Amino acid sequence: MKREKTKPKNSDAPKLVRCSLMIMLETDAALKRLSRDASDYIGWTVSSSAIVRALVRYAEQQPPGWATSQLFPLVEREIASGTVWGRKKR
């Protein structure tokens, strides 16, 4: 009789949410380069998702005001370059 495979239950594993991102070719190339460099450094395959998660966690660890002075101006430049979806807040 064939036995069914069982998956180990790991209640400590973080819950993942699938999301898609729209990025430009240049951004995709940079993300792939970071992923490749991280893989070389760590000695383990590093996905683009892991790079994005690490960048978000890095941003969360910064002191108050960091996003306003460092990140949001970059977001403004992205929007000014015409790469925006959605609408401006009313």
Q: Tell me, what's the pLDDT at 30?
A: 97
First-to-last CA distance in the chain? 65
Can you spell out the DSSP letters for 6-75?
-PPP-TTSPP---------HHHHHHHHHHHHHHHHHHTS---HHHHHHHHHHHHHHSPTTHIIIIIHHHH
pLDDT digits (tens, 9 = 90+) for 12-38: 778 889 988 888 899 999 999 999 999
Q: Tell me, what's the pLDDT at 22?
A: 86
Q: Tell me, what's the pLDDT at 68?
A: 96
- Stretches in the chain below the pLDDT threshold 70: 1-3, 5-11, 83-90
Q: Please check whether residue 11 is in contact with residue 22, taking contact to mean a CB–CB distance below 8 angstroms.
A: no
Alpha carbon of residue 29 to chain centroid:
14
Question: Tokens in use for 65?
Answer: 């005001």
Residues in the chain, overall count = 90
Q: Tell me, what's the pLDDT at 89?
A: 66
